[in-house]
């Protein structure tokens, strides 16, 4: 092992204690290392364990000797430099021994590392949990501590019904997640300090490669809700409905081009962006050829907007920025909001682990939030929503007589006269300087 290590740190297995257990271990999973940029196969060849006490490297060839000299140490017991265990173990009716998977003589450090990295690459929490549990014999925490359980989200429901627009709403946004057979959506209203209300959520069913569902979406987006129209809509374009051979047009782009005044396609970025939202040009026509006038695509920082939604799940409801839910929110909606959790990967960068593939309402809420950001809802201050537009048969309101005491309106100076006066002043200054 080298002269830098003392027997307690190398020749004996590192001690870890647990309640009602007699345990010993070479190291925890956290002691296993490999190059940060290594692929699973490279990690298999280069992984090693590092002593948590003095940082020395423990290689595969050292494992047999360390296992032979290992000792089981129970809670309340101590071990000295000679390997002698002293103290009485706690009284318990269960005799159990815990050994890390790293101590196994049958599976190498590299094989353990490869299994873990392959599970991590799948981006599925269940596979990572299986790797940690079965390969290392350790408990796994998937990062769900950063988000509440779905039952707590359900308890945040308010008394208002879906389709109700609160008096504090200034703008309404839409987020739509496009799948093969449906469009999952949320409609959210925004008020001061980005306080928001879920107005509607649901699914439009139908093959997204066909035109029928897009016609229904068009009607939905243009129909007033409680007297108010949707101001801005973001529609996911990461999934392309239909194959190019059978559906030569991109249905999402075609729909957004038709409603380009307030509907925009989006794509999420798996990398952290300099800004949470960036506009880009799509220089193609609906048939796929070059376009004279491109379509604007909204690039979204996925980590930022999903994190925004998760932050609001616990936001105090009596403070500015509160995030409200209507009284018909159900279990399915709540479960989807916490279907992914944010963890920091081995490279130090955030990753979103999939706990359930039904995560569409989380994506839709993230898009609705990004649309609100585009409208600067984070800068809204005070006041209530604008009054709804008057009905078509409403009589025009006569202006009130302001009376004789009102100040007369001052006319603005003529632009040409203003420029002429400036020139005259500059000429006078130049003349004085030349004297």
Q: Which pLDDT does position 405 carry in this prediction?
A: 39
- Could you tell me the residue ranges of all domains in the chain? 22-140, 150-379
Q: Which pLDDT does position 52 carry in this prediction?
A: 72
Ranges of the chain with pLDDT below 70: 1-27, 53, 122-125, 139-146, 242-248, 283-293, 345-348, 383-435
**H helices within 177-330, ranges in order?**
212-222, 251-258, 302-312
Contact 66, 58 (CB under 8 A): yes
Using one digit for the tens of pLDDT, what is the confidence trace for 44-89?
999 988 877 677 888 888 888 887 877 778 877 887 777 788 888 8
Using one digit for the tens of pLDDT, what is the confidence trace for 182-240?
999 999 999 999 999 999 999 999 999 999 999 999 999 999 999 999 999 999 998 88
Q: Which pLDDT does position 347 carry in this prediction?
A: 64
Q: What is the DSSP letter of 51?
A: -
Q: What CATH number is given for 150-379 in this structure?
A: 3.30.420.240
Q: Which pLDDT does position 425 carry in this prediction?
A: 62
Q: Is 230 exposed, middle or buried, given 0-12, 13-18 or 19+ CB atoms closer than 10 A?
A: buried
Q: Is 253 exposed, middle or buried, given 0-12, 13-18 or 19+ CB atoms closer than 10 A?
A: buried
Q: Which pLDDT does position 312 carry in this prediction?
A: 93
pTM (two decimals): 0.61
Q: Which pLDDT does position 396 carry in this prediction?
A: 39
Look at residues 243, 255, 232, 278 and name the one whose alpha carbon lies nearest to residue 183: 255
Query: Under 8 Å CB-to-CB from 238, ≥6 apart: which residues?
Result: 178, 266, 267, 268
Q: Which pLDDT does position 116 carry in this prediction?
A: 87
């Amino acid at each position: 092992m080298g002269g830098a290590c003392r027997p307690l740190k190398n020749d004996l297995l590192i001690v870890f204690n647990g309640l009602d257990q007699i345990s010993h271990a070479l190291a925890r999973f956290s002691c296993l290392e490999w190059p940060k940029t290594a692929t699973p196969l490279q990690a298999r060849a280069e992984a090693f364990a590092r002593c948590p006490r003095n940082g020395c490297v423990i290689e595969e060839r050292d494992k047999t000797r360390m296992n032979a000299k290992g000792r089981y140490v129970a809670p309340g017991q101590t071990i000295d430099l000679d390997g002698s265990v002293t103290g009485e173990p706690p009284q318990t009716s269960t005799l159990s021994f815990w050994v890390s998977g790293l101590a196994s003589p049958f599976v190498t450090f590299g094989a353990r590392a490869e299994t873990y990295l392959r599970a991590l690459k799948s981006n599925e929490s269940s596979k990572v949990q299986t790797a940690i549990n079965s390969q290392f014999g350790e408990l796994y925490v998937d990062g769900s501590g950063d988000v509440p359980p779905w039952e707590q989200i359900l308890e945040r429901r308010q008394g208002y019904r879906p389709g109700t627009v609160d008096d504090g709403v200034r703008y309404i946004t839409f987020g739509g997640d496009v799948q093969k057979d449906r469009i999952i959506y949320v409609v959210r209203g925004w008020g001061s300090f980005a306080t928001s209300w879920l107005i509607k959520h649901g699914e439009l069913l139908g093959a997204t490669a066909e035109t029928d569902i897009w016609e229904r979406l068009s009607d939905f987006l243009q129909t007033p809700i409680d007297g108010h129209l949707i101001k801005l809509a973001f529609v996911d374009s990461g999934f392309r409905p239909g194959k190019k051979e059978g559906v030569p047009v991109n249905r999402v782009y075609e729909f957004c081009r038709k409603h380009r005044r307030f509907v925009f396609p989006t794509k999420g970025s798996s990398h952290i962006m300099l800004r949470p939202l960036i506009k880009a040009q799509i220089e193609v026509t609906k048939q796929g050829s070059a376009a004279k006038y491109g379509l604007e695509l909204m690039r979204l920082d996925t980590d930022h907007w999903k994190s925004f939604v998760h932050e609001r799940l616990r936001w105090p409801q009596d403070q500015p920025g509160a995030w409200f839910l209507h009284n018909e929110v159900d279990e399915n909606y709540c479960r989807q909001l916490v279907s992914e959790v944010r963890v920091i990967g081995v490279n130090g960068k955030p990753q979103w682990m999939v706990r359930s593939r039904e995560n569409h309402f989380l994506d839709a809420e993230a898009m609705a939030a990004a649309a609100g950001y585009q409208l600067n809802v984070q800068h809204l201050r005070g006041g209530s929503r604008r009054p709804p537009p008057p009905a078509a048969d409403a009589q025009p309101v006569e202006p009130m007589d302001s009376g004789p005491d009102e100040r007369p309106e001052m006319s603005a100076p003529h632009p040409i006269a203003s420029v002429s006066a400036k020139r005259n002043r500059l000429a006078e200054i130049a003349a004085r300087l030349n004297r």
